[in-house]
């Protein structure tokens, strides 16, 4: 498997912005490649500080290609080639109301041929206890429209609300603890339900015959997650980060995630090296089954062919490097991910390479 690498360099002029105090620009190209699909994701970011207001503009593109199965009855004969693009743009403005308080307003739009998401957001950050504590809260509205490529007759809509809370506290000069909490609530169209794929079909045994029926999920989904992260710095320009995250939802999906990272600076702080590992163990949704059968109540009301709603075991190892040279910083990363789906016969394992290159500039 080849690992193509590319770099997108962003150069923006600050002409016409005489009030600008600082100006930075960055570019990234990320790569995901497994046995089925390849995703190349270039992204650009520009940030300018105008007195007490910081304005950030971002643009990202996902170029997805590969093979997917239209029916789960036979993953081989149903595999189809595809290629599509997803565009995402965002604009954020943050303003200091006081030396301890900052407010952020943002808007993001994501568009692909059959899926559009509009997402305004509002957040506030407050420093407390002589700046030993940093507390944050952020609300985000998610308005989604789902369709079918080449068809104007099919349209589904979903409305989501997301709340993120954060609490970071400095205990000592070398120990920082962060607590995070996230909650989401989605209301979706009753025809397919939340996050169901209109292209995906599920095999159901109906009266001794195997038939393919459209995927269907509940029309409401509530999710919640809590995480705790500890960061410990050492005198030799290195640090250790460890975290645990527990998540669950109203569909009985539950996941435990642990992560560990070691960061060190070398060569007079010009080279930063970060090595990290992350492992996840997930329980599948209550209505997920590897083999659906019709019973006395007829066809199962909820059914899914989404491997991410089945049992999941995930392990990811990644190496991240940053090299500083004056006002420029070069970034590179390489990783490997292993997914195991014990209760998903058509895709028992899925392994992927992760890669990326980037450039940050202080202008």
Reported as a pLDDT band with limits 50, 70 and 90, residue 4 is: very low
Reported as a pLDDT band with limits 50, 70 and 90, residue 151 is: low
Reported as a pLDDT band with limits 50, 70 and 90, residue 33 is: very high
Lowest mean pLDDT segment, chosen from 78-87, 258-267, 274-283 = 78-87
- 194 within 8 A of 217, measured Cβ to Cβ: yes
Decide if pLDDT at 69 tops 60: no
Decide if pLDDT at 329 tops 70: yes
Q: Which residues contact 97 (CB under 8 A, 6 or more apart)?
A: 103
Decide if pLDDT at 39 tops 70: yes
- 125 within 8 A of 98, measured Cβ to Cβ: no
Reported as a pLDDT band with limits 50, 70 and 90, residue 126 is: very high
**Segment 321-325 mean pLDDT:** 96
Q: Which residues contact 235 (CB under 8 A, 6 or more apart)?
A: none
Question: Please, which residues bridge with residue 96 across strands?
Answer: 102
Report pLDDT for 72.
36
CATH of domain 20-362: 2.40.160.40
Decide if pLDDT at 200 tops 70: yes
Decide if pLDDT at 345 tops 60: yes
pTM: 0.86
**198 against 175, higher pLDDT:** 175
Decide if pLDDT at 77 tops 70: no
**No. of helices (H) and no. of strands (E), the chain:** 0, 19
**1 against 243, higher pLDDT:** 243
Decide if pLDDT at 76 tops 70: no
Decide if pLDDT at 314 tops 50: yes
Decide if pLDDT at 104 tops 60: yes
- What DSSP designation does 284 have? P
- 115 within 8 A of 145, measured Cβ to Cβ: yes
Decide if pLDDT at 107 tops 80: yes
Q: Which residues contact 288 (CB under 8 A, 6 or more apart)?
A: 304, 306, 309, 310, 343
Report pLDDT for 1.
29
- 290 within 8 A of 304, measured Cβ to Cβ: no
**Segment 216-229 mean pLDDT:** 96
Decide if pLDDT at 78 tops 50: no
What's the chain's average pLDDT?
88
Lowest mean pLDDT segment, chosen from 93-97, 253-257, 343-347 = 343-347
């Amino acid at each position: 498997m080849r690992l193509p690498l590319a770099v997108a360099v962003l150069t923006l002029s600050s002409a016409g912005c005489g009030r600008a105090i600082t100006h930075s620009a960055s570019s990234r190209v990320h790569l995901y490649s497994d046995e089925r699909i390849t995703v190349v994701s270039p992204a650009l970011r520009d940030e300018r500080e105008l007195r007490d207001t910081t304005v950030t503009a971002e643009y990202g593109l996902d170029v997805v290609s590969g093979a997917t199965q239209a029916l789960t009855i036979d993953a081989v004969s149903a595999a189809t080639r595809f290629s599509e693009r997803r565009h995402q743009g965002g604009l954020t403005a943050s303003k200091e109301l006081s030396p301890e308080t900052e407010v952020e307003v943002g808007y993001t739009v994501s568009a692909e041929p059959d899926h559009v998401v509009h997402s305004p957001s509002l957040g506030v950050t407050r420093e407390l206890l002589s700046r030993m504590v940093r507390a944050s809260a952020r609300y985000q509205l998610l308005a989604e429209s789902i369709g079918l490529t080449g068809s104007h007759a099919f349209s589904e809509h979903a409305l989501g609300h997301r709340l993120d809370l954060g609490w970071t506290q400095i205990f000592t000069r070398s120990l920082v603890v962060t607590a995070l909490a996230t909650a989401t609530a989605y209301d979706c169209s009753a025809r397919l339900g939340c996050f169901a794929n209109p292209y995906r079909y599920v095999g159901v045994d109906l009266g001794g015959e195997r038939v393919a029926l459209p995927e269907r999920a509940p029309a409401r989904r509530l999710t919640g997650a809590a995480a705790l992260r500890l960061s410990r710095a050492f005198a030799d320009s290195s640090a250790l980060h460890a975290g645990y995250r527990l998540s669950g939802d109203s569909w009985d999906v539950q996941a435990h995630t642990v992560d560990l990272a070691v960061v060190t600076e070398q060569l007079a702080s010009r080279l930063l090296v970060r090595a990290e590992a992350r492992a996840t163990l997930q329980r599948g949704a209550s209505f997920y089954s590897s083999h659906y059968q019709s019973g006395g109540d007829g066809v199962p009301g909820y059914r899914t062919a989404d491997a991410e709603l089945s049992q999941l075991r995930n392990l990811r190892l990644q190496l991240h490097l940053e090299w500083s040279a004056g006002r420029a910083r070069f970034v590179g990363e390489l990783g490997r991910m292993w997914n195991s789906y014990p209760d998903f016969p058509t895709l028992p394992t899925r392994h992927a390479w992760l890669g990326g290159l980037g450039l940050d500039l202080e202008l």
